[in-house]
Amino acid sequence: MADIVSPPPEAAPDWTVPQDWARYTAHEHAIWDLLFARQSAQLEGRAAKAFLRGLDVLHLSKPGVPEFRELSDRLGALTGWQVVAVPGLVPDAVFFEHLANRRFPAGNFIRSADQLDYLQEPDVFHDVFGHVPMLADPVFADYMQAYGEGGLRSLGFGALDKLARLYWYTVEFGLVREQGGLRLFGSGIVSSHGESRFALDDPSPNRIRFDLVRVMRTRYRIDDYQQVYFVLDSFEDLLRQTVETDFAPLYARLEALPDLAPDALLPDDAIITHGTQEYARGKVLID
């Protein structure tokens, strides 16, 4: 998401652009293949079943950068979602409008070979590999639409920063309980070679059971691995909490509560892993 209000000249009013799949070079397709092979091998047994199933049913293992039209046909048949190309980050209202109408905006560029392990702005690999498999799951697909609808409403309450934390700690960096352990599903984790190991294996971060108010009070890092991960009991529970909550009084309540640092622990937290915070010690927090 971004604060820019006018689309670039090549974009439509809703900020969409043609993917122009034919323009990808053999080198760019090879970068996708390398990233896909590396991540899909690493995620077996570590990612949520819904994510791995999405990779399979959407045929994302097909060589080369996916063609959005073909991908949308498969995705639409499953959950009614489609993938639309955008030139980069889009304004908040535009982003929410797309989600509310079951359109996922994905960057149409791919990182260079020297950016395999870190990229500041989301590219087609982060957006498609990281986000789209979960949209093949009916429950998570409904959550994403509900989030978009809630995002549009949040603009009238001046509470975008609070709602952004919900997106960050679920869609981007969420964990879920599955098969007696923790599994990855957040796009920022599953598309990251380093964080897909760190989020489950490293002793540094706190891992806390998901609580809606707790999450929306908690600041987050954008410059490094997370200091806290919130763990869902299930995607069904996440959807239920989202659609059954009246966010207007919740925003008013949050205004009266102090924000929490990413490494904070509260007496009533359901702590799954009490982290050492060794990794984050001495690093500068960026909100």
Can 98 be counted among the known catalytic residues? no
Can 193 be counted among the known catalytic residues? no
Instruction: Give me the half-sphere count of Cα atoms (radius 13 Å) on the Cβ side of residue 45.
Output: 3
- Active-site position among 28, 72, 98, 172: 172
Q: What's the rounded Cα separation, in Å, for the pair 75 and 57?
A: 9
- Active-site position among 187, 191, 192, 196: 191
- Active-site position among 28, 98, 131, 196: 131
**Nearest by Cα to 83 from 59, 57, 110, 101:** 101
Radius of gyration over every alpha carbon of the chain, rounded to an integer in angstroms:
18
Instruction: State the angle between helix axes of 247-255 and 160-167 in degrees (0 to 180), rounded to the nearest 10.
Output: 110
273 beta partners: 207
Can 126 be counted among the known catalytic residues? yes
**Nearest by Cα to 111 from 129, 95, 138:** 129
- Active-site position among 72, 126, 178, 195: 126
245-256 in b/e burial notation, b at 16+ Cβ within 10 A? eebeebbeebee
Q: What's the rounded Cα separation, in Å, for the pair 151 and 139?
A: 18
Can 6 be counted among the known catalytic residues? no
Q: What's the rounded Cα separation, in Å, for the pair 136 and 147?
A: 16
Q: Annotated catalytic sites, by residue?
A: 126, 131, 172, 191
